[in-house]
Amino acid sequence: PLTSYSVGGATTSDAILQGWLGGKFGEPLRADGSTIKVPGLDTQIANYVTCDEPTDKTNILYTMWVGGNDDSDNAMLGLGRKGDEFADAQMVQWETLVRAGAKNILAVVPPPMTLFAIEYGTKMHVNAAAFRLKHWSVKLGLFETPIVMGAIVATPKLFGFKYTTNERCCTGNCFSGLAGNATVCNNPDEYALWDVVGHPSAHTHQILGDEATKLIKLWF
């Protein structure tokens, strides 16, 4: 079975940068005008390890894809933090899962859309090497989103795309839940990206999923 503990809008670490929703891109605030705090990866995993897990943890593939909200929220707030700080925080969560009994972890390297994302991904590789030396009995795989997205940008027609990183299928407020303020293209499968934030389109998600499946079969 596939079980998701993820929460949209989450950051890698609440201790470094608390994720939130409300007023970010036009989505509504709470009735009292406050934002909605989103539990980060660290909080999600802390909650998970305190729960009863009916499945043998050595047979579970723990998968995490995080970093995009760290990037956008860091820029929005003008914090000036570096991506490697957040990558280090993700490594802490790998360690937390191992202490809880995990033997298989898949972490997604974020697309290199910004310098922050490049820093994050580069440090993930450094940390993965150190982690594997320390935990030789644990399988840690990194899914290379930068390679897949790079191939799409370099040869879009091979993947069935007409538009890559400069165009978006949905313009306006495409993800806040507010009605009547977004325009969606008529040919979404020709777009690699969905919205201005950089969410992948359904077509891109399919490609990423196919490539991730290949890695999982090879690595785990």
Asked if the model's pLDDT at residue 104 lies above 90, the reply is yes
Residue 31 φ/ψ region, left for φ over 0, alpha for ψ in the -120 to 50 degree band, beta for the rest: alpha
Contacts of 83 (CB under 8 A, 6+ apart): 67, 70, 71, 115, 116, 117, 118, 119, 120, 121, 122, 123
Asked if the model's pLDDT at residue 29 lies above 80, the reply is no
**What pLDDT, on the 0 to 100 scale, is given for residue 27?**
66
Enumerate the β-bridge partners of residue 61.
104
pLDDT, tens digit (0-9, with 9 covering 90-100), for 176-207: 656 667 889 999 999 999 988 888 999 999 99
* CA-to-CA dists, residue 145 to 65, 88, 108, 176, 209, angstroms: 10, 19, 7, 25, 10
**What pLDDT, on the 0 to 100 scale, is given for residue 177?**
56
Percent of the chain with pLDDT over 70: 95
Ordered domains of the chain (ranges, CATH): 19-219 (3.40.50.1110)
User: Is there a contact between 89 and 42 (Cβ–Cβ < 8 Å)?
Assistant: yes
Mean pLDDT of the region 79-92: 98
* pLDDT band at residue 28 using 50, 70 and 90 as cut-offs: low
Mean pLDDT of the region 18-25: 80
User: Is there a contact between 122 and 157 (Cβ–Cβ < 8 Å)?
Assistant: no
Closest of 145, 67, 64, 136 to residue 97, by C-alpha: 64
**What pLDDT, on the 0 to 100 scale, is given for residue 100?**
97
* pLDDT band at residue 26 using 50, 70 and 90 as cut-offs: low
pLDDT, tens digit (0-9, with 9 covering 90-100), for 138-166: 999 999 999 999 999 999 999 999 999 89
Asked if the model's pLDDT at residue 9 lies above 70, the reply is yes
**What pLDDT, on the 0 to 100 scale, is given for residue 180?**
61
* pLDDT band at residue 77 using 50, 70 and 90 as cut-offs: very high
pTM: 0.91
pLDDT, tens digit (0-9, with 9 covering 90-100), for 123-144: 999 999 999 999 999 999 999 9
- Residue 181, both tokens: 């303020």
Report the mean per-residue pLDDT for the chain: 92
List the beta strands (DSSP E) in the chain. Answer: 19-21, 36-38, 61-64, 104-109, 139-144, 170-172, 182-184
